[in-house]
Amino acid sequence: MKQIVATILLISASLALLGQGMPDWVDTDFRKMKFPENVYFTGFAYGEATAGRTLQDVTQQLITDAQADLSRKIRVQITSRTQSEMLAVSAGGQYRESESFQNRAATESDAEVTGIKTESYYDAKTRIVYAFAYVNRFELSGYHKASLTMNITQMEGLLQTALDLQTSGEKSKARQQCEAAKLLLEKVRASQNLLTAIDPNATPDAQQQQKIETFHNQIAQMTSQLAQAVYVYIESEESNFSRPTTILANRLKSALAAKGCSFIDDAGQADFRMKITATTRHHGIEQGFTVCFADIAVSLFDAHKNRSVYEDEFSQKGISTNQETAGRKALEDAAPIIVNKISQWLE
């Protein structure tokens, strides 16, 4: 009997509100009844329309606040669920799975809430503005399940392309595909987080957890492999007393190879592009030996940053019994100087 009376009173109060033109969702009890927590995520905000601000500005701010209130409730559920899972997994001694839960928790703030509907109401008598935001759990779940599947499919394609490019020696392009797969992995993690909050009973299979962990491992392994060597393209214009030569370029390749660099003939596939110009000139005679100088200009372009990271000009001295040998010695001795100057960029 008491329950019937309470229901009648609630309906009467709500009808009174409606009679005044106020929407039913302004009332807390009616809002909970029409938008139950097991079906909806909701957010609510209200505030006074004060002087100095337009009604439109106040309303928009409160709508934003209501949306933020809704998102906060989802993040709380994500954090709570993730922490409980981490405790359960840690108790089982499965460190790797615990690490994966930590990764999921780290991306919780990136979870995208789509399909939020908003309503607002202004009470002219009290000058109070009310804002309400809501989203259906099942609609949100459907969106993120579809998004999860789409992103996983795209990530699978990127990884396969990266593997094909790596096999054919196109390391730079393979790295680009791998980086794109990493970005998609973050989106996938965010979708997983949101699905966890929306449906506490979602199984690992429903979230495609095993497949995603496999992709995570593949990305990590490929990233490590692609980072083992730096690809450098060298463009050289050298001459030793007007005779074309590759003395400096050859010495540079030898020295940089010892630091883990590889060299390719296609500038478009390089991590770094180096340009060298070098000429030799006679300086004089010292104690019966010929003294020459190599005048050198060098620049280094980072293909990933798409900018020049190093430029310099200098002269290197060479001494020998004749002019040509002294010029060669100057070019050879310039190589370790250049390597020392650019090593920080190639690490």
From the number of C-beta atoms within 10 Å of its C-beta (0-12, 13-18, 19+), residue 130 rates as buried
User: What pTM value is reported for the model?
Assistant: 0.49
pLDDT in tens, 162-194: 888 877 767 767 878 888 898 888 888 877 777
pLDDT at res. 107? 42
Q: Tell me which residues of the chain have a pLDDT lower than 50.
A: 1-19, 94-110
| Cβ 118 vs Cβ 34: under 8 Å | no
Q: If residue 261 lies in a helix (H) or strand (E), which one and from where to where? A: strand 261-263
pLDDT at res. 9? 39
Hunting for tokens 């980086």 — which residue is that?
A: 179
Hunting for tokens 């019937």 — which residue is that?
A: 4
Q: How much is the CA Rg of the chain, to the nearest whole Å?
A: 34
Q: Which residues contact 319 (CB under 8 A, 6 or more apart)?
A: 286, 289, 290, 291, 292, 326, 329
Number of other CB atoms surrounding residue 286 within 10 Å: 9
pLDDT at res. 273? 94
Please state the domain extents for the chain.
2-136, 139-226, 230-346
pLDDT at res. 105? 43
- Dist. CA 136–CA 144, nearest whole Å: 12
Amino acid at 217: N
pLDDT at res. 18? 39
pLDDT at res. 228? 67
Classified by CATH at the fold level, domain 230-346 comes out as Rossmann fold (3.40.50)
Nearest alpha carbon to residue 116 among 207, 194, 58: 194
> In sequence order, which ranges of the chain are alpha helices (DSSP H)?
2-19, 28-34, 55-91, 95-106, 137-167, 171-198, 209-226, 247-257, 323-346
